[in-house]
Amino acid sequence: MAVLKIVTYPDPRLQQKSRPVEKWDKELYGLIEDMEHTLDAAPGLGLAAVQVGVSLQVFLYDENAGGGKSTKSYTAMINPEIAFQEGEIKEEEGCLSIPDYRDTVVRAAVVRVRGFNKEGEPVEVSGEGLLARVFQHEIDHVNGVLFIDRLSSLKRGLFLRRMKKLQRQTKAELSGKV
């Protein structure tokens, strides 16, 4: 049981497609448990394995996302795919792997996701509104897509310039302290 370090942008692992899970074993269960503790310690509604440095198609989501409940209840989704989507909703989104940045992203309003639970049983779950957004965001992660990849080219360019400026500032601060 550990709180894992969250991988942050521009780490290249975040933009690589994760491998499907082939074995349900102690290692997988341990990863899921560690991800639960990590998500408990973070201000997020979902967490993909790649965000903690593990390239497997696994994500956790808070079943209560958007439901008005203050308690968190996590469910693991393994080898997920979107089976159905409809509608469109445009809302602000953020990411634990891109701290301190939020922007408006267009997503489907309703989705149905197919995959496996942590026991290896096939599952299909539907979500709308915020929960649909969480599903799409986390499935993007397992496919190597970040929410900034869904921004307009103008907004993405502004984000990238901001990141380069922050990297230069950090580098200058570090070189000044050495």
Asked if residue 20 is part of any domain, the answer here is yes
pLDDT for residue 153: 93
Q: Supply the pLDDT for residue 172.
A: 85
Cα–Cα distance list, 119 to 28, 75, 96, 146, 150 (Å): 10, 11, 27, 28, 33
Per-residue pLDDT, 68: 66
Q: Is 176 a member of any domain?
A: no
User: Per the domain annotation, does 178 fall within a domain?
Assistant: no
Task: Give the number of domains in the chain.
Answer: 1
Rounded percentage of the chain residues whose pLDDT exceeds 90: 81
Distance of CA 176 to the CA centre of its chain: 35
Q: Is 119 a catalytic residue?
A: no
Catalytic residue among 81, 93, 138, 173: 138
For residue 3, tell me if it sits in a domain.
no
158 lies in some domain: no
Higher pLDDT, 151 or 172: 151
Classify residue 174: in a domain, yes or no: no
Q: What angle do CA 49, 50, 55 make, to 5 degrees?
A: 95
- Tens of pLDDT along 51-79? 999 999 999 999 887 666 677 889 999 99
**Residues 49, 19 contacting (CB under 8 angstroms):** no
Query: What pLDDT does 61 receive?
Result: 96
How confident is the model over 144-168, as pLDDT tens digits?
999 999 999 999 999 999 888 888 8
Domain CATH code at residue 98: 3.90.45.10
Cβ atoms of residues 78 and 61 within 8 Å:
no
- For residue 13, is pLDDT > 90? yes
- For the stretch 119-135, pLDDT in tens is 999 999 999 999 999 99
Average pLDDT, integer, range 96-118: 96
Who's near 63: CB < 8 A, 6+ residues apart?
73, 74, 75
What 8-state DSSP symbol labels residue 21?
Answer: P
**47, 39 in Cβ contact below 8 A?**
yes
Asked if residue 178 has pLDDT above 80, the reply is: no
- Domain residues for the domain of 42 are 12-151
How far, rounded to the nearest angstrom, does the alpha carbon of residue 125 sit from its chain's CA centroid?
A: 17
